Amino acid sequence: DGGITQSPKYLFRKEGQNVTLSCEQNLNHDAMYWYRQDPGQGLRLIYYSQIVNDFQKGDIAEGYSVSREKKESFPLTVTSAQKNPTAFYLCASSMEGGGAVQYFGPGTRLTVT
Amino acid sequence: AQTVTQSQPEMSVQEAETVTLSCTYDTSESDYYLFWYKQPPSRQMILVIRQEAYKQQNATENRFSVNFQKAAKSFSLKISDSQLGDAAMYFCAYRSSLHIIQGAQKLVFGQGTRLTINP
């Protein structure tokens, strides 16, 4: 059963704590992405990775960090430096290539209080 | 930088009727890709349809079709025979074909249109 999994579905943290969101795919896709969605808005790119051990900042990378040690996994850490971390986070993956479709995971809702 | 605009925050349609969702975009590139994604209440993003800018023929997927007007930079989505399961947020998205350039891989999303289906 191929697809993208994200865990957990809901995550609650206290302000000042780092938190890591999981993203795993078994589609054998080279590229992986993290997007953030705020209420009433479209998605904005946080980080992306085209290949293992390489990743690039997106439009809103400040306060976030990622790693890509395995092709299947692309975890996102929301650090205490992120000023407004409460949001819905979506992970996606695709084959490499400009027209490749990005497939999305089910998302993680992060609430920081 | 590319931008995508969806000017209809909300739309509603009677079940079995046809509805068209609007999308315009701004780019200086001649080759690119356009997508419509659906986000139901579960919030998972689901691909509805994809269009290559170099193709003049409008893409279709069953009840979903697009009207791609490259000169006008317009990419509307038509849903025929609307069903209750079509109720969702719909997002228009743009992606550059220049995938080897840093930052070009991202999808640029519009703000979304919330579609309600009236039974």
The answer to whether B47 and B103 are in contact (CB under 8 A) is no
- Three-state SS at B37: strand
- Please check whether residue B16 touches A, CB under 8 A: no
- Three-state SS at A98: coil
B67 has a pLDDT exceeding 60: yes
pLDDT at position A39: 86
Contacts of B93 (CB under 8 A, 6+ apart): A42, B4, B34, B35, B36, B37, B107, B108, B109, B110
Q: Which residue has the tokens 């068209």?
A: B20
pLDDT at position B2: 85
All residues of chain B having their beta carbon less than 8 Å from the beta carbon of residue A99 are 33, 50, 52, 95, 97
Convert the pLDDT of each residue in A2-18 to its tens digit: 699 999 999 999 999 99
Average pLDDT over residues B93-101: 76
Q: What gap in Å lies between CA B119 and CA B111, rounded to an integer? A: 26
Convert the pLDDT of each residue in B18-38 to its tens digit: 999 999 999 998 889 999 999
* Percentage of residues in chain A having pLDDT higher than 70: 96
Average pLDDT over residues B89-96: 94
Contact state of A56 with B103 under an 8 Å Cβ cutoff: yes
Q: Which phi and psi (to 5°) does residue B85 adopt?
A: -70, -5
pLDDT at position A40: 79
Among the partner residues A40, A98, A107, nearest to B43 by beta-carbon distance: A107
Residue of B nearest to A106 (CA): B44
Contacts 24+ apart (CB under 8 A), B45-50: B45/A43, B45/A90, B45/A92, B45/A104, B45/B91, B46/A104, B47/A101, B47/A103, B48/B77, B48/B90, B49/B77, B50/A99, B50/A101
A44 has a pLDDT exceeding 90: yes
Convert the pLDDT of each residue in A9-42 to its tens digit: 999 999 999 999 999 999 999 899 999 999 878 8
pLDDT at position B11: 97
